[in-house]
Structure 1
Amino acid sequence: MPELTLEATSAIAVAFAAVMTVGFAARQQRWGPGLMVVGILGFLGIISFGIVTRL
C-alpha cells in the first residue's frame, strides 16, 4: 500500500478540520451534525490508513 507523506496527511487533516468547523458552526441546521460526523470519520480514516499501511 502506498504511504501518505506528512504534507499530504496534513493537508487532508486540515480539510477534515475545516469540514468539522463548518459543521459545528451550523450545528443548529439539519446538515451541521452530519458534517461533524464526516470530519470525525475522516480523521479516523487517516489514523486507520496509517495503521494498516504499517502492518
Structure 2
Amino acid sequence: MLTCDFCGRRAEEGAATLTWTFAVENDRRKAFCDSCSRENLRSMEGKLDSEFW
C-alpha cells in the first residue's frame, strides 16, 4: 500500500496514483499524495538543479 511520506495519507487499494509525485532522497524512494504535492510544489521545484527547468 502506498503511503504519503509527508502527511501519512494512504492510497486506497486499486486507486490511481497518477497525481502523486515521487522522489528519491538518500537512496530511498518517497511518495507524496496529490494534496501535499500541490501544497509544496514551490519547495519541490526549488530543490531541482537548474538543468531541469
Q: Under TM normalisation by the shorter chain, which class is it?
A: under 0.3
Higher share in helix: 1
Structure number with higher relative contact order (C-alpha < 8 Å, ≥ 6 residues apart): 1
TM-score, structure 2 normalization: 0.24
Higher share in strand: 2
- Rg larger in 1 or in 2? 1
